Structure 1
Amino acid sequence: MVEEPKLHELDARTLRGLAHPLRMQLLSALRRGGPATASQLAEKLGESSGATSYHLRQLAAYGFVEDAPEHGKGRERWWRAAHQGVRFDESLLRDADPAVRGAASVFMHEVASYHSQELSTFIGTRHEWPDDWVSASDVSDFTLRLTPELASELNEKIHDLINSYRAQAAPEGTPGAEQVRLHTHVFPISSD
């Protein structure tokens, strides 16, 4: 049986520590690329090492990143993601505190922007991928008429299906295997 990924439960306090564009980029870079120093992340993200260092310390204060001392030599400080993902509680969007609602909104907008950026990057670089990976990719959208209960059921089934593939994940170093990103978006739209 494959273990579920370790997730960080967002609450009003930790949301404030994450709801910043650079912090979200840093956390994503550590999750995808593994441990790194503030300088390495600064170069990768086109930021100053002072900014990345400050925001990494803020992420650490809220429990999103931690030291990775096994990678460091001397004075180098290496960081790693403390969790594989976050779990967002939509009740944060309705919190009584306007600062919490604002942080939740920033977080959601940054997630949507990041998803769009990832997809755009793939589309712009798909010619660099082998044909079998281009054929295996998918950019689809569907419109269904559902109740909130059916939409929740659909979400649960999609998540269960995705999680069932964790047991089949190719080990590191498997020829032809790559990390694959899946974005799910289920939301109501106006028919106007």
Structure 2
Amino acid sequence: MTEHETPAPRRLDARSLRGLAHPLRMQLLDALRLHGPATASQLAERLGESSGATSYHLRQLADHGFVEDAPGRGKGRERWWQAVAQGLAYDSADFEDASPEVRGLTEVFLQEGAARHARELATWIGSRDRLSTAWSRATDMSDMTLRLTPEIALELIEQMHELIDGYRNRATDADAPEARQVRVHTHLFPIDTHRSAAAEPT
């Protein structure tokens, strides 16, 4: 792997979901991925949790390979953690024949992912007045409605991801003016546009 290549995301399976599908664990992993290595106490302060809770859930994440000790950090008994992978891949096809327990875990995983997106959007909206003029013009919150087949929808998703991947590391120079991390959310799902008989006017 070259210096600027992005490692492949970790593909989730039933075992890894058992270690990840918990709101606090997902928040801990997100915090480590976004902000870098931290201790359980630092993460507890950031997330408004007790250090006992963050310590326990960090150990569970470590047991399933999501986090690990951060080398070269900490003094004495102070333990620093870092994320192992910078990306996760979830494919619903991998869970079509899953047990009810695992299906429940996929629900937790997806619901927390949606909640995270909502929190990030709310944070951006609440702080947008502090953005520079250039960044104010370079933000977006859009929705579009298309009529597609499942095959065309999958093609669109793949092309969107390929396009976004092409922009990774375009601003690798630490001195690039106003270079910042950005979050890109993509959602594509079918909607029911048919009114039920009960909703029809009499």
TM-score (norm: length of structure 1): 0.95
1:119-161 Cα deviation digits (max 9, x unpaired): 1110111011111111100000000000111101101110011
RMSD of aligned Cα (Å): 1.4
Q: Specify whether residues 49 and 106 from structure 1 end up closer, same or farther in structure 2 by C-alpha distance, changes over 3 A only.
A: same
Give the secondary structure class of the aligned counterpart of 2:166. Answer: helix
Stretches of structure 1 that go unaligned for 5 or more consecutive residues are: none
User: Could you say which residue in structure 2 is the equivalent of 1:11?
Assistant: 13
- Are the aligned partners of 1:95 and 1:101 in contact in 2 as well (CA < 8 Å)? no
Deviates more, 1:87-96 or 1:38-47: 87-96
Q: Is the 8 A contact 1:66 1:81 kept in 2?
A: yes
SS in 2 for 1:166: coil
After the TM superposition, which residues 1-192 of structure 1 pair with which residues of structure 2 at under 5 Å, given as runs?
Answer: 2-192=4-194
| AA partner of residue 83 (structure 1) | A
- Aligned residue identity for 1:110: E
**Secondary structure at 2:167 match in 1:** helix
Please say which of residues 82-91 and 26-35 is displaced more in the overlay: 82-91
Q: State the 1:179 CA deviation.
A: 0.4
Offset from partner CA, 1:78-113 (integer Å, 9 cap, x none) = 000000011112035533310000000110010011
Inter-CA distance 77–129: structure 2 relative to 1 (3 Å threshold): same
Give the C-alpha shift of residue 173 in structure 1.
4.6
Bigger mean CA deviation after superposition, 15-24 or 67-76: 67-76
Change (3 A) 1:173 1:66: farther
Post-superposition shift, 1:190?
A: 0.7
Larger Rg: 2
Give 1 or 2: higher helix fraction. 1
Q: State the percentage of identical aligned residues.
A: 61
Equivalent AA in structure 2 for residue 133 of structure 1: W
Alpha-carbon distance in structure 2 between the residues aligned to 1:99 and 1:138: 37
Higher mean alpha-carbon deviation, 160-169 vs 181-190, is at 160-169
Number of residue pairs the alignment of both structures matches:
192
